[in-house]
Structure formats: C-alpha cells, structure tokens
Amino acid sequence: MVILKRFSMLFILILLVGCQINEEKQAQLFKEREIDEVTKERMDWLPETYELTIAAIGDLLIHDRVYDEARTETGFDFMPMVDGIKDYLTDVDITTANQESMIGGEEHGLSSYPQFNSPQEVGDMVSEMGVDIVNLANNHTLDRGEAVIYSALDYWDELGILYTGSYRNEEDQAEIRVIEKNNISVSFLGYSYGTNGIPIPEGKDYLINLIDQQQIAQDVERAKESSDVVVMHLHFGDEYVRMPNMFQQELVQYVADLGVDIVFGHHPHVLQPTDWVESEDGQETFVIYSLGNFLSGQDQHYRQIGGIMELTIKKEVSSSSETITLESPQFLPTYVDIDDGYRMFPMKDLSDDRLAEADDHYQEIKEHMSQWMPELDFFE
C-alpha cells in the first residue's frame, strides 16, 4: 500500500510538472505570437520608396534643309544627327519630346516652312532615342490638314510611341495617356496657344488641344484620378524671346494650382529658364518655360541651342499616406552644328573650332537656365 501511495504521488507530481511545462510553452507561444503581430504592425507602417527618372527634349522641327541632309538612296536616316547626344537618354525611365512637325510622310508630299510635313523616318529616330511619348499640340499641327495628321498618328501607333495633344476622334481625345514604371504612374497632357490662323475643321476639335482653361481643368482632374504624377506640355510664349512673358507665368501658376506636377514649355525656339512654382496648397510644380529647339534647321546662335531636361520622381508609400516628390533637376545644353550636317553635340564638349568661345557660351547658358533655380545641376 505504501508503494502504491508513493506511485500515486509520483504520478500526480509528474502531471503537475507536465502541466506547468505546458503552461510555460503556451505562454511562450502567446508571447511569440504577440511579438510577431507587433512586428507585422510595425512593418506595415514602414514606408516603401519607388523612383523613376523622366526626361524631356524640345522642338523637333524638321525643315527641308534638315531632311535633305538626311536623305539616302532608300529614304532618310536622321540618326547621324543625334548620335552625339542619344546616350544621355539611355538610362532614363520615361522620355517625352515635342514633335512640332507632323510626320505624314512622302506620300502626302514633304514640305517645310511655313507649312510642315516631315518624313516618317523622323519617327524612327525618335524611337531609337528611346522616346516614349510625343506632344503634338503646336501651331503647326494643322499645317497640312487631316490626312497628314492621321498618317502621322498611324505611324506613331506602328512604332508603339504614345502621343498627346492631337487625336483621331473624341474617344481618342478622352483617353488620358498614362505610362507606369517602377510602381509610379505618369500622365501626359498637351495644349497649344493656336494654329497659325488655320481654322479647325467644324466638329473636329479633337485634332488639336488648344489652351482652354475649362478643358485643361477637366483634363487635369481626370489625369489626377488615373496617375500619381501629371505632366503637361504647353506650347506658348514669344518666339525667339529668352524669358517667359506674363501669359506664360500666369498659365503655369493656374495649372500648378490645379495640381499639375511638371510643365514642359515649347514654342519660343530658344531656351527659357527653369523654376519651382508654388501652388495654392503649398505644393511645388517644376517648370522649364521653353526647352528650345532640339533638332531643327533654324540658324542664329540661340536657336541652335536646346537641351535634355531630366528629373527624378520619388513615391513614398506607407499604410497611412502616399507622397510624391520631385528631385535632382538636371540639364544638358545641346548645340546643333548647321555647318556640319545638323549634327548635335553637348555644349560642354564643344571646342572653339566648332563654336568660337565655346566655354563662354556654355557658362552663359548655365547661368541663364539656373537664374531662378540655383540648385539646377548640369551633366558633366
């Protein structure tokens, strides 16, 4: 009986110890689970950061002297003209350009100033440079009529390059162009001050977006709904004037207040400065009032200078907010040598043999472009 009692007490003791161990394990498991949940909650609050680079180039205005220089036995080859600068666009995530002359092609008869129609091989050059979207809203959009516009749009579609500012029909016009890369979506809009007096065909306002504040406000609202960043091409300003006029500045302030993030300006055919424009709600819009000529047949010093504008877009996402910032504005001034086959060069690389007092001209352009934005960086 004594042995049985001792056995019973031992059994009870083992059960108690086992229960204690089991309780300790359960407590440890609960503790680990609680730690995991806290860790997960903290991880949910850690922001994720995405970024992309966006670049813009100015006017592609192809005069007859330019496409005659590019003519080959089988067509046209414009690549030798841009070989000297195209590598600066290689690592950019999104590139946009102002295609000022319609690329209707030879079937519609090529033409130059004052009413342009360019070879479709211009589009091949644009594609090879890595351009993702072209702005077509400018004062030369209607130069050669609807047929040339439709022919150009067909070729952009064939190349897989998006276009904005000129459209096939109302449905095409209503579709906001959005490019998404690196988890950041960017929409593109384009508008022109006019059409050189050429009337828009009745009922076909979609052929060109004109600067109309009501339409712009509606388009920006839809663009903001479908993208993180809104980019706007504006064709405005005084030709050959190196500073923006009051209309340009007031319009940029208007679109900044609407929520546009980036403005790329065109039309003056010369460079105009960069700036940050503060909106009503305290946000900053980046603007370059004019990107000047990129490739054209225009002479005179300042009309031969354009450039590549590059920005970094950053998107920070947490469980409670999403923030977009624009950083690292960087500019590459470029020069078209009209005496050497319209070949393009970075101004920083020019010798005095190609442009007299080249470095002095380069330094003057740097000062001109950064006068309102001292932090503007330049490719070196």
What is the mean pLDDT, run by run of 10 residues, along the chain of 380 residues?
45 48 55 53 70 98 98 97 96 97 98 98 98 98 98 98 98 98 97 97 97 98 97 98 98 98 98 97 96 97 98 92 94 98 98 97 98 96
pLDDT at residue 319, rounded to an integer: 79
Contacts of 330 (CB under 8 A, 6+ apart): 309, 310, 311, 376, 377, 378, 379
pLDDT at residue 206, rounded to an integer: 98
pLDDT at residue 221, rounded to an integer: 98
Are the C-beta atoms of residues 304 and 338 closer than 8 Å to each other? Answer: yes
pLDDT at residue 17, rounded to an integer: 47
pLDDT at residue 23, rounded to an integer: 56
Residue 42 CA to residue 39 CA, distance in Å, equals 5
Measured at the CA of 94, the angle between CA 93 and CA 99, to 5 degrees, comes to 150
pLDDT at residue 150, rounded to an integer: 98
pLDDT at residue 12, rounded to an integer: 46
pLDDT at residue 320, rounded to an integer: 80
